Amino acid sequence: MAKTEPRTLSGFMELLPSEQILFNQMKEKIEEVYKRFGFLPLDTPIIELSEVLLAKAGGETEKQIYRFKKGDTDLSLRFDLTVPLAKYVAKNYGNLSFPFRRYQIGKVYRGERTQKGRYREFYQCDIDIIGDGELDLINDAELPSVIYMIFTNLGFSKFTIKINNRKILNGLFESIGQKEKSEDILRIIDKIDKIGKETVIEELEKINIEQEEINRIIEFISITGNNSEKIEKLKNLKIQNETFNKGIEELTYVFNNMKIFGIPEENIMIDLSIARGLDYYTGTVYETFLNDYRELRKCMFRRKI
């Protein structure tokens, strides 16, 4: 009898038992910390109606969606856990208590170009806090402390939680009269770690930003110093723009409260170049980076996570 070759699609992770044990241990550690902070569990379907999932999507996201028909129904696989959360909160608004704190750990699907280390099916471990009408800024300071506990429990100590505030960037663009191009500018400067300063300048020139304006953008994102010095230098730019100044105020408040939530200052870095690709962020933005991994070889990862 002819045999079918047992293959797994590229971009889909499949592990041997010992690796799976390790993977699950990491997943359990993350879940444990989410619960420790009182986040509620949520599990939404992997398949949703396309009209629901794609209510907002456009451009790049839409191209990556796994979309198909079953009978006459147009279906899609979820590509993140945020859109299903939005649907869920809107649908169950009357039955939820706000602020609604939920965690969700699940697989999402994106038909990206396959390359090494790029997955088409992957786990996201999300936490969100949703307010009804309003949500106090202090919440922005609590979330990084969850992340701090997770990476600490996973055995890292040298990692950096980078924070910034989109209002600062948007305010800067308003002040140089480039509000319309702010999305393009953000997208370009978001890549500075990957492509370097020179290429950022070239790309800004390509979208017809004046040299003087480019200088101000670069000058701004090159602000250096420790966290307090950066805040001081931002204030010293004396940019007369309401959004900009609101952004500084929020960033300062979040930064100060992150320390109260127990994150050591050495693990926090205000990084004015962090912009986050997605356009729906309006205030605080975060990224976390691992700094030095040699410690890991020595520590717990080897035995028990």
Partner 1 sequence: MTIENFGSVCSGGRYENLAENYTDKKLPGVGISIGLTRLFYKLNELNLIKAEKKSISDVLIIPMIEDLSVPIKIANKLRKKGINTEIYLNNKKLKAKFKYADKLQIPSVIIIGEDEIAKQVVKIKNMQTGEEKEIKIDEI
Contacts (CB under 8 A) with partner 1, residues 222-281:
276, 280-281
Residue 150 near partner 1 by CB under 8 A: yes
* CA-wise closest residue to 271 among 285, 250, 257, 253: 285
Q: CB of 266: closest distance to partner 1 in angstroms?
A: 14
Residues contacting partner 1: total by CB under 8 A: 73
Residue 9 near partner 1 by CB under 8 A: no
CA distances in angstroms from 272 to 15, 166, 219, 231, 294, listed in the order given = 38, 9, 11, 10, 28
By beta-carbon proximity to partner 1, the closer residue of 39 and 173 is 39
Residue 112 near partner 1 by CB under 8 A: no
* DSSP helix/strand/coil, 100: strand
Among 75, 77, 81, 231, binds partner 1 (CB under 8 A): 81
Half-sphere exposure in the Cβ direction for 28 (13 Å, CA): 8
Among 67, 87, 187, 233, binds partner 1 (CB under 8 A): 87
Two tokens, residue 152: 């600490």
By beta-carbon proximity to partner 1, the closer residue of 145 and 241 is 145
Binding marks (x or -) toward partner 1, 14..53, rule CB under 8 A?
--xxxx-xxx--xx--x---------------------x-
Among 61, 64, 82, 252, binds partner 1 (CB under 8 A): 82
By beta-carbon proximity to partner 1, the closer residue of 193 and 210 is 193
* CA-wise closest residue to 78 among 101, 91, 90, 61: 61
Residue 213 near partner 1 by CB under 8 A: no
Q: Which helix (H) or strand (E) holds 50?
A: helix 50-53
* CA-wise closest residue to 200 among 212, 215, 178: 215
User: How many beta carbons lie within 10 A of that of residue 141, not counting itself?
Assistant: 21
Residue 74 near partner 1 by CB under 8 A: no
Residue 125 near partner 1 by CB under 8 A: yes
- Asked if 40 and 72 count as a contact pair (C-beta separation under 8 A), the reply is no
Q: CB of 124: closest distance to partner 1 in angstroms?
A: 5
Q: Say whether the peptide bond before residue 144 is cis (omega within 30 degrees of 0).
A: no
Q: CB of 139: closest distance to partner 1 in angstroms?
A: 5
Q: What is the dihedral of CA 31, 34, 40, 41, to 10 degrees?
A: -20
- Please give the Cα distance from 286 to 113 (Å, whole number): 26
Q: CB of 211: closest distance to partner 1 in angstroms?
A: 31
Residue 146 near partner 1 by CB under 8 A: yes
Among 38, 59, 71, 133, binds partner 1 (CB under 8 A): 133
Residue 61 near partner 1 by CB under 8 A: no
Residue 166 near partner 1 by CB under 8 A: yes
Among 66, 123, 253, 261, binds partner 1 (CB under 8 A): 123
Among 153, 160, 245, 252, binds partner 1 (CB under 8 A): 160
Angle (CA) 245-251-257 rounded to 5° is: 140
Within 131-197, strands assigned E span: 159-165
